[in-house]
Structure 1
Amino acid sequence: MATAPPAGAPAPDGRDVEKDVVLSSPNAVLADDSKVDSDDNSSNVLEGIKQVEAITSVWSKRALWTTFVLLWIVSFVSDLLSSVEGALSPYVTSAFARHGLLGVINIAARVIGGVVTLSLGKIIDIRGRMEGFIGSLFLITIGMIMKATCQNVETYAAAQVFTWVGKVALGFVVDVFVADITTLKNRSLIFALNSTPNLATTFAGPRIAQLFFEQVNFRWAFGAFAIILLGSSIPVIVILYYHERKARQMGLIRPKSGRTRLQSFVHYVIEFDLVGAILISGGFTLITLPFSLVSSSSHSWRSASIIIMIVFGVIGLAAFAVWEKYFSRVKFFPFEFLKDRTFLGSVLSHFFVFMTTFVWDAYYSSYLQVVHGLDITISNYVLNAYSLTSYVAGPFIALYIRWTGHVKYPALASAPIYLLGTALIVYFRVPSSPVGYLVMCQVLVGFGAGVLSQTGVLAAMASVRHQDVAVALAIYGLFGSVGSSVGYAIAGGMWTNILPAKLYEFLPEDSKHLTAEIYGDIQKQMAYDFGTPIRNAVIAAYGDVMRKMVIVGSALIPLVIATVFIWRNINVKKLESEEKKERGNVF
């Protein structure tokens, strides 16, 4: 039996090694952890992949670059929506006197969003990229309508799940489609260019949010952006539909299966492993939620509801493992991918970056407004310095990768910078610290995290065949989503358990009865002037809990560095061979 060349070396026969360095069978493991399987047999390629390959074979260069531009516009609007939402979230929860639930609301949304991408990866591989794109827009629209009309925090929490899942799905479909129409060497560059809208939305989003909040209300912000996003996405749907129809007329896409609706329903329930998806999402959610909800329970950790949630969460994850091993006809999670040390290291690094970040980032906007007196716009400028730096650095890192082909070296260089930036926050995140130092920390952390994420996703894709890229991106996104949900759970647990107690401790004796009222509403926290005993008590409580959050986040960062060390030294320039020829008109 012939073996594939080591990862990072060119294939002697000129084949696309991106497609060959990973196994579809867990039994073909080589000494250097490379994985092999032939991708050439079209019978092994799912219909959605055949469909996009047919589209790229019939469109022109003009259509290719038009699609890049249209996807950039969609990314711009989606990023602007995210920026506006993030700025308004503390005020939405405060409108229902539940500001403390800011972290809790995101836990379920993040877990479900990550799990859904695995199912979505299968959907767009089986059904097609356009169907996944349309489905994502549908979820975002439903979520935006619910947010615009919500009358309680429960509806807002449900809307956040719809919106977040839809946005994760939309970004995922865009990333997969970009991977479809680029070669491995150029992919990081296009990913970086597709992220450049954040250079504008970082500044525009908070300002737009403040204008909506002051001049209209948060509801109209959600309604307006639902319409704008739909309008910007229609051209993408049109161009994909046109070329899919053209490919079908040329006989490059096979006709529909001919199954009845019931047969199709049963087929997709099995194909998407719906049972596995429910078990894993429910398990993770039930385990992480109690950390944030425990403070509202009359019996704390001894509460029956808290204990039941944790027990059922553990049972759900155990049942998922049993189901996947013994009963599932189509595996929801391709565990064999994790046998490749580069892939495992990349997804774990993504998990720990998100976890360590969201431990201290979840309530950062509120901290800047309450403690430092910044308004919605300026506080989110400071907050977004993190993402702004990562997006500014992105194209330069992409050019370095395109020039040298090295992925691991920039990741190793950025990890200590990420640690330094987070550690400095421990020193500077105190009420007396100038805001400029906080911005400096955000820049350092943003650069480190941005490079780690950019190189990590490329390392993950370089470890699999092209037909497995969608699943690889889904797993990568799942680890990031679960990592952020764990970070939110830790942050929410610390916030809801420490802040009320510290508020009660620091408030004057004649104001201690206001603890719950002040804790639940950011506008009430800022209603008291600086220098007054109540505002000083609020600032002291914020400073205490925030310092502890950053210490926890910093202590976990060595795990990020350890996971990067296990990557193979992949050179993407050497992995690329005749990829453009095999996959049609791509960049």
Structure 2
Amino acid sequence: MVTISKTESRTSRDCDVGKEVALDQPAAESPEDSKPEKDDDRTHIQEGVQRVEAITAVWSQKSLWSTFALLWLVCFVSALLASIDTALSPYVTSSFSRHGLLAVINIAARVIGGVVTLSIGKFIDIRGRMEGFVGSLLLITVGMIMKATCQNVETYAAAQVFTWVGKVALSFIIDVFVADITTLKNRMIIFAINSTPNLATTFAGPRIAELFYNEVNFRWAFGAFTIILLVVSLPVVFILYYHERQAKKRGLIRPQSGRTRLQSTIHYIGEFDVIGAVLISGGFTLITLPFSLVSSASHSWHSASIIVMIVMGVVGLAAFVVWERYFARVNFFPFEFLKDRTFLGAVMSRFVVFMTTYIWDAYYSSYLQVVNGLSISVANYVLNAYSLTSYFTGPFIALYIRYTGHVKYPALVAIPIYLLGTALIIYFRIPGAKVGYLAMCQVLVGFGVGMIGQMAQLTTMACVGHQDVAVALAIYGLFGSVGSSVGYAIAGGLWTNILPVKLYEFLPDDAKNMTATIYGDINQQMKYPIGTPIRDAVIAAYGDVMRKMVIVGSALIPLTILCVAIWRNINVKKLEAVEKRARGNVF
């Protein structure tokens, strides 16, 4: 269950189990062995968890592996759609002469997407994985239809929220479902395999986006691949629905509550804590947005609108704490999880990595196209070398975990690699630098981030029992989303406050009146050939602001060391030995 009633204690397995097992003692001798048995108490297991356990109890080995294959296909198409969307985003905003709002749009989407995962986690625990899977597809479809038909940047911004929330929800639900049908030591193998489609979509997505942009338009790209995603997702829905029906026939799933529709609505409003969700998402959004909007305000940081947004954001977060402490029947955010230092360190490492990365990554695609003269596809190949390396090394890291069980020390080793890759970008991200060096930096960063991410994600799940995996992954995703939104906020603040000033400074006197036009449209920035005074001025301005972004991002990376250092030295192979309750036919 994602949230906890104040009158009922949680039954999650505490990470203290790992604390004992990690000391290289035999699992059977651990005095904490009795704790996981609480997970056996069926009265404390939510309906959604019971339903997925009923499914694994009735399906065959063939159905299990068929599901793995179908989920991989869904991950492939979802990653391809996301890659195409990312490559086209600068051109969609530029079509409305609002290229500078790229970071602003992503801030709101990522904050809301991160917060909503807690509600989604609760929903799939109460209702079931299948319903959440269908709901996430619906959100993606609505968002992509809005993108394909948008006529202004406001509609596109709203569409980005729907799309991002749907994408986050789909990835989250797939991860939770994989956790349902795998053991702890094998889990990262399937997670890594599900990320391998990105090895292809890294190259295919930008090229497809470029072809659509040049030969048709961005609208058809969004529409076509949304349809493909729906088609490949239907078999997964069928498998879940079929086996759920089989479980019901065998009496493994309890009958519905018998509440009326009105009673169910009131019940779920309280269970989901809608007020808490609105307060926390609104608070984070209002605090982070001003960093990107300040340059367009009439009096900069003295503008009443900017001050009001920040104040209201702080008030919203304070109100959230008060609401959760004194008024909420069911808490939206399970604060007790953060009392465990290992859990806290794992999710905070996710926050710091995402924050530091998106500070220098937010406008990187635009930089490669404007400064280095790369096409949409080639620029995104360089950009995606980061994720490509992470996905390529993922299965090998997962096998290491499978056979050793160690998670803390590999994460500590990965941090210096991440710092080295980012620090080298400071040296190489200057006008005139060879693109190959930039790609090399992306490879180093991708390897470091990939290893840290896998270890942190597994550590998060190792701190809880099976019935709390959804909430653990939701919190992990929330910290990542908030971290990326903070990164976008810092990047947007640097971009909107520095780039226009530097453009005006570097542009020739007879072109200074074009500053606003050039700033707002990437096509205008690339209109003039490299070597002409106006293009050289744009390149110089880009080089100045991008260098500052990388310096800020690099300076914050050492915080990751502190986050990982506080983890207990959990060995997931030994921790697996204390898993008492059978969960059906799982890998």
The bucket for the TM-score relative to the shorter chain is over 0.9
Corresponding residue of 1:70: 70
Residues 16 and 575 in structure 1, CA contact (< 8 A), matched pair in contact too: no
Give secondary structure in 2 for the equivalent of 1:445.
helix
Q: Which residue number in structure 2 is paired with residue 437 of structure 1?
A: 437
Partner of 1:179: 179
Q: 1:298 and 1:229, CA in 2 relative to 1: closer, same or farther beyond 3 A?
A: same
Q: How does 1:508-527 map to 2 (within 5 A)?
A: 508-527=508-527
Q: What corresponds to 2:3 in structure 1?
A: none
Correspondences of 1:313-462 after superposition (within 5 Å): 313-462=313-462
- Mapped to 2, the partners of 1:165 and 1:522 lie a distance apart of 27
Q: Letter of the aligned partner of 1:119 in structure 2?
A: S
Q: Give the drift of 1:6.
A: 1.6
- For each residue in 1:377-423, what CA deviation from the matched residue of structure 2 results, as whole angstroms up to 9, or x when unmatched? 00000000000000011011111111100011110110100000000
Question: SS of the counterpart of 2:38?
Answer: coil
Choose the corresponding residue for 1:12, options 25, 28, 33: 28
Q: Is the 8 A contact 2:40 2:580 kept in 1?
A: no
1:164 aligns to what SS in structure 2? helix
Does residue 477 in structure 1 map to residue 477 in structure 2? Answer: yes
Q: Which moved more, 1:224-233 or 1:167-176?
A: 224-233
Aligned partner letter, 1:373: G
Counterpart in the other structure of 1:193? 193
SS of the residue aligned with 1:38? helix
Aligned to 1:214: 214
Q: Assess if the C-alpha contact under 8 Å between 1:365 and 1:379 holds in 2.
A: yes
Displacement after TM superposition at 1:12 (Å):
2.1
Aligned to 1:570: 570
Q: Distance in 2 between matches of 1:339 and 1:454?
A: 22
1:189-245 deviation per Cα after TM superposition (whole angstroms, max 9, x unaligned)? 111011100010001000000000001000000001110110010000000000000
Amino acid at match of 1:282: G
* RMSD (Å) for aligned C-alpha atoms: 1.5
Moved more, 249-258 or 277-286: 249-258
Give the corresponding residue for 1:532: 532
In 2: Cα distance, 1:543 partner to 1:114 partner: 32
Give the structure 2 partner of residue 33 of structure 1.
none
**Whole-angstrom distance in 1 between the partners of 2:253 and 2:283:** 39
Secondary structure of 1:447's partner? helix
How many pairs are equivalent?
569
299 and 243 in structure 1: CA distance in 2 versus 1, 3 angstrom threshold: same
Distance 1:404 1:480 in 2: 27
Tell me the SS of whatever aligns to 1:258.
coil
Structure 2, gaps ≥5 residues long: 1-15
Question: 2:28 corresponds to which letter in structure 1?
Answer: P
Question: 2:121 corresponds to which residue?
Answer: 121
Measure how far apart 1:10 and its partner are: 5.0
What's 2:11 paired with? none
Q: Distance in 1 between matches of 2:248 and 2:470?
A: 23
Distance in 1, matches of 2:458 and 2:139, equals 28
Give distance in 1, aligned partners of 2:153 and 2:31: 54
- The residue number in structure 2 matching 1:306 is 306
The amino acid of 2:204's aligned partner reads A
Check conservation: 1:461, 1:469, Cα contact below 8 A: yes
Between the aligned partners of 2:422 and 2:224, the Cα distance in structure 1 is 36
Q: Which amino acid aligns with 2:253?
A: I
Question: 1:497 is matched with which residue?
Answer: 497
Q: Are 1:168 and 2:184 matched, yes or no?
A: no
**Paired AA for residue 136 in structure 1:** S
State the alpha-carbon separation in 2 of the partners of residues 381 and 284 from structure 1: 32
1:90 aligns with 2:90: yes
Q: Distance in 2 between matches of 1:14 and 1:82?
A: 45
- Structure 1 residue 375: Cα displacement: 0.1
What secondary structure, in the 3-state scheme, does the structure 2 residue paired with 1:6 have? helix
Does residue 546 of structure 1 match 2:546? yes
Q: Which amino acid is the alignment partner of residue 328 of structure 1?
A: A
Q: Distance in 1 between matches of 2:545 and 2:259?
A: 57
Provide the rounded CA distance (Å) in 2 between the counterparts of 1:513 and 1:337: 55
Which runs of 4 or more aligned residues in structure 1 lie more than 6 Å from their structure 2 counterparts after TM superposition?
13-17
Secondary structure class of the residue paired with 2:582: helix
For residues 468 and 581 of structure 1, what CA distance do their matches in structure 2 show? 14
Q: Deviations over 1:317-346 (max 9, x none)?
A: 000000011111111111110111110000
Secondary structure of the residue aligned to 2:531 is coil
Q: Given residue 206 of structure 2, which amino acid in structure 1 is its aligned partner?
A: P
Change (3 A) 1:578 1:55: farther
SS in 2 for 1:228: helix
Amino acid of the structure 2 residue aligned with 1:440: M
Is this contact kept in 1: 2:57–2:585, CA < 8 A?
yes
Q: Following the alignment from structure 1 to structure 2, what is the Cα–Cα distance between the partners of residues 288 and 77?
A: 31
Partner of 1:30: none
Q: Output the CA distance in 2 between the equivalents of 1:214 and 1:15.
A: 65
CA distance in 1 between counterparts of 2:132 and 2:56 reads 18
Kept in 2: contact 1:415–1:452 (CA 8 A): yes
CA drift at 1:446: 0.5
Q: Normalized against structure 1, the TM-score is what?
A: 0.95
Q: Cα distance, 1:102 vs. partner?
A: 0.6
Residue 579 of structure 1 and its aligned partner are, at CA, apart by 4.4
1:514-542 residue CA offsets vs partner (Å, 9 max, x unmatched): 00000010011001011111000000000
| Partner SS for 1:271 | helix
Mapping 1:259-270, distance limit 5 Å: 259-270=259-270
Instruction: Kindly indicate whether the alpha-carbon contact (under 8 Å) linking 2:39 and 2:581 is maintained by their aligned counterparts in 1.
Output: no
Identity %: 75
Task: State the TM-score, normalized to the length of structure 2.
Answer: 0.95
* AA at the equivalent of 2:267: H
Secondary structure, aligned partner of 1:477: helix
What are the residue-to-residue correspondences of 1:145-294 with 2, within 5 Å?
A: 145-294=145-294
Deviation at 1:581, TM superposition (A): 6.3
How much does 1:255 deviate? 1.1
DSSP 3-state at the match of 1:583 = coil
SS in 2 for 1:332: coil
CA deviation after TM superposition for structure 1 residue 577, in Å: 2.3
What are the Cα deviations for residues 149-194 of structure 1, in whole angstroms up to 9, with x where unaligned? 0000000000000000000000000000000000000001111011
The CA distance in 2 between the partners of 1:246 and 1:520, in whole Å, is 57
Query: Secondary structure of 1:418's partner?
Result: helix
How far 1:11 sits from its partner (Å)? 3.8
**3-state SS, counterpart of residue 343 of structure 2:** helix
Alpha-carbon distance in 1 for matches of 2:67, 2:31: 27
Alpha-carbon contact 1:87-1:209 (below 8 Å) kept: yes
Q: Which amino acid aligns with 2:576?
A: E
Q: Structure 1's 394 and 20: CA in aligned 2 closer, same or farther, altered over 3 A?
A: farther
Which position in structure 2 is the counterpart of 1:26? none
Q: Specify the SS of the correspondent of 1:39.
A: helix
TM-aligned CA distance change 1:344 to 1:512, over 3 Å = same
Taking a change above 3 Å as real, the CA distance of residues 137 and 20 of structure 1, as seen in their structure-2 partners, is farther
